Chains A and B, each alone.
Chain A
Amino acid sequence: MSQQPNGHQEGGLGPADEVLRVRGLTVTYQSRGRPVPAVRRFELSVGRGEIVGLVGESGSGKSTALKAILGLHLGAETEVKADELVLDGLDLRSLSTEQARRIRGGQMSMIFQDPINSFNPAWTIGSQFRRVLALHRPDLSRSEYDDEIIRLLADVGIDGRGKLKSYPFQFSQGQLQRIMIAIACASKDLKVLLADEATTSLDVTIEAQVLELLRRLRRERNLAMILVTHDLSVVAEMCDRVVVMYAGEVVEVADVYDLFERPQHPYTQQLLKAIPHFPHGGGRLYAMRGAVPRLDQPISGCTFAPRCDRHLGSICDTVPPELRPTANTGGAVAACHLIGRAEPARKD
């Protein structure tokens, strides 16, 4: 495996470098008595120090998939199944509730979309931070907590002295998101950071700062990340590889350059076509026709078929396409009947 100077990795991932592996993840929740499969046959691999982007529209299931990976409670009646869910060699499905809980915030942690909503409004920042340290930093004694908090905050660029007794509403969104990141990275065992639309609600300049912070963390700690977003520019800037989701399924996986230059799945192609270019000639903007399908109805064939510009024929309406290797490198796959039928064994 060769390492490019800017951190991108080429080629498939060997097992030693694979820090997170998900196969066959399915999340089904109940709505008005009917099962709704929000995520189907989801798969994802993340290498050490790799940033994987998970993109899709609202309702594509990306946040649900992320939460299911972390093992977050998704609702009393929600069913989560997976063929494989392995974190650095540890099978997450075989863990007891208590063991799974220790993973959260320890080896794998998550930051959320709206920073102000990620904190309990009635607690001070200090007390919320302290709780995390108590859970995940057994190396520290209680008296050392506050000093460590100041240090961790300084790491993310916040001067925490005298602010530990402040409440979340006294900070700006950008500061809160950085504090959130500090809390999520407090554990020394952290291997994977999950970010669910972490910069979506931030101003562009703040977003840039936060993204820079994430890049620095990846460099310094060889931290792997999964960034869920619907903003392709964030993907272009940050990610090494991209997983594209549509209506609860993975439709394409590729290296970031390949994705933008040689998208294989019609959905990805149409998505990229829809981005307006600047300068713009004044012609009509491309818009995808149709709408995302309802997940509570059974879907036959390819989920994207009704909106696809490259619809093949009845096969697209009857047979759901499997993820097949594409012409792109590095284990890229796409779920489309257009991809060549000849299948060499996939390097897993």
Chain B
Amino acid sequence: MLRMLGSRLLSSVPVLIMISIVAFTLLRLTPGDPALLSVGLEAPPEAYAKAREEMRLDEPIWVQYWAWVTDVARGDFGVSYSDRAPVLSVMAERLPVTTQLALGALVLIIGLGIPLGVLSALRPNRLTDQVIRVGSLAGISVPNFVVALFLVLIFGWWFPGILPYQGFVPFSEDPLRSLANTVLPALALAAPQIGLIARLTRSAMLEVLGQDYISAARAMGVSEWVVIWKDTLRNALLPVVTVLGVQTGFLLGGSVVVETVFGIPGLGRLLVESFTIRDYPVTIGVMMFVAAVFVFINILVDLLYGLINPRIRVGYSAGKE
């Protein structure tokens, strides 16, 4: 088990390195002069030259990369081109915001998606099931920012005043208002995913329900409720957890479009905005963070899988007699 963990961590390093190389190269190749954007068009030539030197823009690209890597190894992700603030602190400002939205969305996804899927599986092909399935399909089909736009329309124009549709208040400042601000964005983020999880839960449960050991459990006299709860659901949740992990990864990376629509200062917006002004240190910083999050979540899901699935845990070679 520990060995598996170690090997996974080890194999993720080359992937992260490759990502950083590709990210770095692509960004440097993108047209646009970060030095110019940093000092502005009006700036005197000396300031511009100084900026170019600071950013090492005239040096060969592998030198630039190596400089960056050595800095990162020391924990220094560099300084933002636009406001000279350390990249890490810029990110640290935005991270809690995105995390809060992500948590809110997850609560909705798990709280609505799984029960709907279970309900659907227990009455297959009846009205409840059809409604949930069609609803899920419709939900998946609408991109989250479209949902966001509609929510703003509804709560900003038609029924203003019920829920805030713009801006954000940190939890530490005003918990209640912070939560109120989280509702609509979390809803927009969750909407497409709820349908996905509902469908996945449904199909996983139907598959488990069709297994012989479920019939065997019933034949042993186990009550239907217990069969569903203990035998079926636990086994069925395995693939669902995997997908939830991927979704969490996406959520933690922040959705730039949803954040844009709701005016939320999150990581997603940071990523795209920094890219737009060619503030590369920040862009790469966020990209590496997101990549690392994905890698860790993948490993976490694998660990969880191993925990739940005894075959992986005990190992095949435990001795057949």
Contacts and interface: CB of A to CB of B under 8 A. Distances in A.
Complex: A in contact with B (CB within 8 Å)? yes
B308 A122 contact: yes
Contacts of B162: none
A308 B251 CA distance: 67
A300 interface: no
A121 B213 contact: yes
A105 B310 contact: no
Interface string B121-132: 001111000000
B216 A112 contact: yes
A73 B218 contact: yes
Given A122-B235, A172-B321, A175-B321, A105 B220 contact: yes
Nearest to A97: B224
B91 to A, nearest CB: 40
Contacts of A120: 213, 217, 231, 235
Interface in A162-209: 166-167, 169-172, 175, 180, 183-184
A110 B231 CA distance: 18
Q: How large is the interface on B (under 10, 10 to 19, 20 to 34, 35 or more residues)?
A: 20 to 34
Contacts of B311: 121, 167, 169
A180 B215 CA distance: 13
Interface string B151-168: 000000000000000000
Contacts of B219: 70, 72, 104-105, 109-110, 112, 184
B222 interface: yes
Contacts of B61: none
Candidate in A118, A166, A172, A175 with the most chain B CB atoms within 10 angstroms: A118
Contacts of A169: 310-311, 316
B220 A104 contact: yes
A135 B222 contact: yes
A122 B310 CA distance: 6
Interface string A96-140: 001001111110011011100111111010000001100110000
- Secondary structure at the B interface, as helix, strand, loop or mixed, is helix
B126 A76 contact: yes
B212 to A, nearest CB: 4
A185 to B, nearest CB: 11
B319 A170 contact: yes
Contacts of A184: 219-220
Contact of A119 (B213, B222, B314): B213
A72 B235 contact: no
Contact of A135 (B123, B220, B309): B220
Nearest to B208: A120
Contact of B216 (A76, A118, A172): A118
Contact of A118 (B213, B224, B235, B310): B213
A332 B216 CA distance: 33
B31 interface: no
Given A135-B221, A172-B321, A112 B314 contact: no
B223 interface: yes
A68 B234 CA distance: 27
A172 B222 contact: no
Contacts of B234: 122
A101 B212 CA distance: 18
Nearest to B213: A120
Contacts of A167: 310-311, 314
Given A70-B219, A105-B220, A131-B222, A121 B320 contact: no
A73 B224 contact: yes
B234 to A, nearest CB: 7
B310 A104 contact: no
B318 interface: yes
B215 A131 contact: no
Interface in A297-336: none
Contact of A171 (B211, B231, B308, B321): B321
Nearest to B124: A76
Interface string B223-250: 1100000010011000000000000000
Contact of A101 (B223, B309, B321): B223
A122 B125 CA distance: 28
Interface string B293-321: 00000000000000011110010101111
Interface in B37-74: none
B211 A117 contact: yes
A133 to B, nearest CB: 10
A101 B220 CA distance: 9
Contacts of A119: 213, 216
Contacts of A183: 220
Given A73-B215, A105-B222, 18 more contacts: A67-B215, A70-B219, A73-B218, A104-B218, A104-B219, A104-B220, A105-B219, A114-B212, A120-B213, A120-B235, A122-B235, A122-B310, A131-B220, A135-B220, A172-B321, A183-B220, A184-B219, A184-B220
The 3 closest A-B pairs by CB, nearest first: A105-B221, A117-B212, A104-B221
Interface of A: 67, 70, 72-73, 76, 98, 101-106, 109-110, 112-114, 117-122, 124, 131-132, 135-136, 166-167, 169-172, 175, 180, 183-184
11 contacts: A73-B224, A103-B221, A109-B220, A112-B216, A121-B311, A122-B234, A122-B308, A124-B310, A166-B318, A171-B321, A184-B220
